[in-house]
Amino acid sequence: MANLIPQSKRGFSPSAQEPPDFPGHEIIRRLGFGAASVIYAVKNKSNNEIHALKYVVRQEGQDGRMIEQVETEFRVGSRINHPYIRNYYDIYRRRRRLRTREVLMLMEYCPGVSLEQSPSRSLLDLLLIFRMVADGLHGMHAQGFLHCDMKPNNIIIADNGAIRIIDLGQSCANGTVKPRIQGTPDYIAPEQVKRRPLNARTDVFNLGATMYWALTGKHVPTLIPRQSDRLDLALASRENTLSPHQLKPRIPVGVSNLVMECVRSDPRQRPADMPTLISRLDLLIHMIAGSKLGANGLNGNGKKSRASDTNAAADQPSGPADDDPNEQSSQQENHSIGI
C-alpha cells in the first residue's frame, strides 16, 4: 500500500487515487468516490471485521468544505445509536501547516443497494421502507440533530430488507440557520433555499420528496429549478404539482395525500414531526396489508374470508422501474450542493 503523498504536489483524482496506509487495517477494495473523497472497504487485521473507510482530502485552493462535512458527519453520527443509522467509529486527521489536510473516517460497512438504484418494489414494501427511514430520522431528532439531505441515494437497503441512513455530512442542530444553501436540488426544502431556521419539518419535506420519487419516478419541483434560474417559474411549477395518485392511479389516495402534505411549502402545514408521520404510515400499512390479506381470501387469523380476490395495490410494483421507459425521469445522480 502506498504512503500518502501531499495532495498539493500531485492533485487529487478520486477515480485514480491510490489507497492510503491505514494502520491496523487492510484495504480490500474501493467502494465508491465523490468530488473529493474515496470510500474503501477495509478489514481489521486483529479481528477480521469489515468496515468502511472514507478518505477526504483538502484540495489546494479550496476552502475545506468537504473536510468540514466529514467532521460534521462524525460529530453527529458518533452521538447517535440507532439500528437504522450508520454507525461511526473513529476519525483520523492529518495536519500540515496547522491545517487539517486529510481525514480518514472509519464507519460501519453497509452492504446493499441504495433506494435510488433499487429494483421496483411493491407499494407495501416502499411504505415499510419509508417507516424505517422516519424512525431513523426520529432517532436523530431525539438527539437534537437533523439530517437535512434525505434522498433515495442516502437510504441503503440490505438483502434482508433492513435499511441504513447514510451521509450525515449536512446534518445540523435543530433550529440552525445555515450560512449557505445546502441540500440536493431535487429534494431540498423551501426553508433550506431561503436560509431560514431548520427543524424536524425540514426532514419531513426531504423524506416526502423522496417518497414522491420512489412512488412515481418523478421529482417534486423545488425552489432550485432544474433548467432555469428563475424563481418565479419554480414557484409556478410547485403550485401545479400533480399528486402521486394523479400520476399513478393505482396509488391509494391516502398515501398520495400524505406525501403531498409532507412537501407543502409552508413547514407549518406539514406533519409536525416524525412520530406523526410514523403514525400515519402505520395506518396506511395496516390498511394495505389488510387489503392484501383480503385479496388473498384470508382474514387476520389466516383463515379464508369472503373478500374479493381482486389484486390489491400492495402486490403491484411501484416506483420508476415500473414506469413505461418513455415516462421515466432522468436517472442522473443527484448530488448535494453547498452555495
Distance CA 214, CA 271 (A): 19
Q: Are residues 151 and 20 in the same domain?
A: no
- Cβ partners under 8 Å of residue 83, min gap 6: 136, 162
Q: Are residues 215 and 130 in the same domain?
A: yes
Q: Are residues 258 and 277 in the same domain?
A: yes
Q: Are residues 169 and 278 in the same domain?
A: yes
Question: DSSP 3-state assignment of 248?
Answer: coil
How much is the pLDDT for 80?
Answer: 97
Task: Pick the last residue of a domain from 47, 76, 108.
Answer: 108
Specify the number of domains making up the chain.
2
Q: Are residues 90 and 151 in the same domain?
A: no
Amino acid at 260: M
- The reply to whether 246 falls in a domain is yes
Contact between 198 and 175 (Cβ < 8 Å) = yes
Helices (H), 226-322: 231-239, 244-247, 253-262, 274-295
- The reply to whether 13 falls in a domain is yes
Task: Pick the last residue of a domain from 108, 141, 161.
Answer: 108
For 139, 256, 319, the CA distances from 286, given in Å and listed in that order, are 23, 16, 20
Rounded to a whole number of angstroms, the CA Rg of the chain reads 22
Give the pLDDT means over successive 10-residue stretches in the chain (339 positions). 35 60 91 85 96 87 80 97 97 84 94 93 96 98 98 96 95 96 95 97 98 96 70 58 94 97 97 98 94 58 44 52 34 48
Distance CA 222, CA 209 (A): 9
For 34, 193, 224, the CA distances from 184, given in Å and listed in that order, are 14, 10, 9
- The reply to whether 179 falls in a domain is yes
Q: Are residues 48 and 123 in the same domain?
A: no
Question: CATH number, domain at 187?
Answer: 1.10.510.10
How much is the pLDDT for 4?
Answer: 35
- The reply to whether 62 falls in a domain is yes
Q: Are residues 126 and 249 in the same domain?
A: yes
- Cβ partners under 8 Å of residue 131, min gap 6: 278, 281, 282, 285
Q: Are residues 126 and 268 in the same domain?
A: yes
Instruction: Please report where in the chains the cell 445522480 appears, as a residue.
Output: 333
Q: Are residues 230 and 122 in the same domain?
A: yes
Domain that holds residue 122: 113-283+317-338
Task: Pick the last residue of a domain from 108, 139, 172.
Answer: 108
- The reply to whether 193 falls in a domain is yes
Contact between 137 and 171 (Cβ < 8 Å) = no
- The reply to whether 201 falls in a domain is yes
Question: CATH number, domain at 25?
Answer: 3.30.200.20
- The reply to whether 40 falls in a domain is yes
Q: Are residues 102 and 148 in the same domain?
A: no
Q: Which of 252, 255, 275 is nearest to 203 (CA)?
A: 275
Q: Are residues 33 and 135 in the same domain?
A: no
